[in-house]
Chains A and B, each alone.
Chain A
Amino acid sequence: QVQLVQSGTEVKKPGASVKVSCKVSGHTLTEVGLHWVRQAPGKGLEWMGGSDPEDGERLFAQEFRGRVTMTEDTSSDTAYMELSSLRSEDTATYYCAIFGIRPYYFNVDVWGQGTTVTVSS
């Protein structure tokens, strides 16, 4: 049974960076297409980027290019999402989610519990 466990709540000041972790269990990180999605309070889902489960290509949303870094530690099956130059609009719950176990999309539906990031001076 594949599961995702995320790091805890973060409070950051504008201009700072935040790094959220997401540990995979039940499969290795290289076997899954792991993505990051955020949701501002009272707002909809916003896809940030991730790994295409079909071919492993790294995919990014244009609005986050240059500010987001997605890395993986395959030795611990932990993925990281770092967002820099934080502003108040980045206040949101950040989710990691598996969009598929390679090489298919949506053969599983697994989400982390979410990490709340608050950006406030």
Chain B
Amino acid sequence: DIQMTQSPSSLSASVGDRVTITCRASQGIGNYLAWYQQKPGKVPKLLMYGASTLMSGVPSRFSGAGFGTDFTLSISSLQPEDVATYYCQKYNRAPLTFGGGTKVEIK
């Protein structure tokens, strides 16, 4: 099975900073990658799919890039409401594996 590896596992940044999270697939998955945001005590929220297509209502400070094995989620200007754990998920074929998560905190 294809493994999904996220890095870093956690990060702390200042409000206004640019933040980038990486997700690496052990084999190519095309652009079949989704990103989720999960705030403490809440259900996950889909941010984007197709590696870079934002869901309606997601702030434009979020962006995604990548194809094949290497993907990134970026937040152009970190806001306090972005404190959450972020997960990538492959969906090209089963298993629809999630990455291990990246916890984002404010410094």
Contacts from A to B (Cβ < 8 Å)? 35, 37, 44-47, 49-50, 52, 59-62, 95, 97, 99, 105-106, 109, 111-114
Contact across chains for B89 and A47 when beta carbons are under 8 A apart:
yes
**Does B100 reach chain A (CB closer than 8 Å)?**
yes
Q: How far is the CA of A61 from the CA of B85 in the complex (A)?
A: 23
Evaluate whether A62 and B46 lie within 8 angstroms (CB atoms) in the complex, with A44-B101, A109-B55 already known.
no
Selected contact of A62 from candidates B1, B85, B98, CB within 8 Å: B1
Q: How far is the CA of A46 from the CA of B101 in the complex (A)?
A: 11
Residue of A nearest to B36 (CB): A45
List 9 additional A-B contacts (Cβ < 8 Å) besides A44-B100, A45-B89, A62-B95.
A37-B44, A44-B85, A44-B98, A59-B94, A99-B91, A99-B96, A109-B45, A109-B55, A111-B44
Selected contact of B95 from candidates A61, A99, A106, A109, CB within 8 Å: A61
Query: Chain B: interface residue count, which band?
Result: 20 to 34
Counted as pairs of residues, one from A and one from B, with CB atoms less than 8 Å apart, the total is 55
**Which residues on B sit within 8 Å (CB–CB) of A97?**
44
**Which residues on A sit within 8 Å (CB–CB) of B38?**
45
Contacts from B to A (Cβ < 8 Å)? 1, 34, 36, 38, 43-46, 49-50, 55, 85, 87, 89, 91, 94-101
Contact across chains for A106 and B44 when beta carbons are under 8 A apart:
no
Interface of A, helix, strand, loop or mixed by DSSP: strand
Contact across chains for A106 and B34 when beta carbons are under 8 A apart:
yes
Selected contact of B98 from candidates A45, A52, A60, CB within 8 Å: A45
Q: How far is the CA of A33 from the CA of B100 in the complex (A)?
A: 23
Residue of B nearest to A45 (CB): B98
**Which residues on B sit within 8 Å (CB–CB) of A59?**
94-96
Contact across chains for B95 and A45 when beta carbons are under 8 A apart:
no
Residue of B nearest to A109 (CB): B46
Q: How far is the CA of A97 from the CA of B45 in the complex (A)?
A: 11
Contact across chains for A111 and B43 when beta carbons are under 8 A apart:
yes
Selected contact of A47 from candidates B43, B46, B49, B98, CB within 8 Å: B98
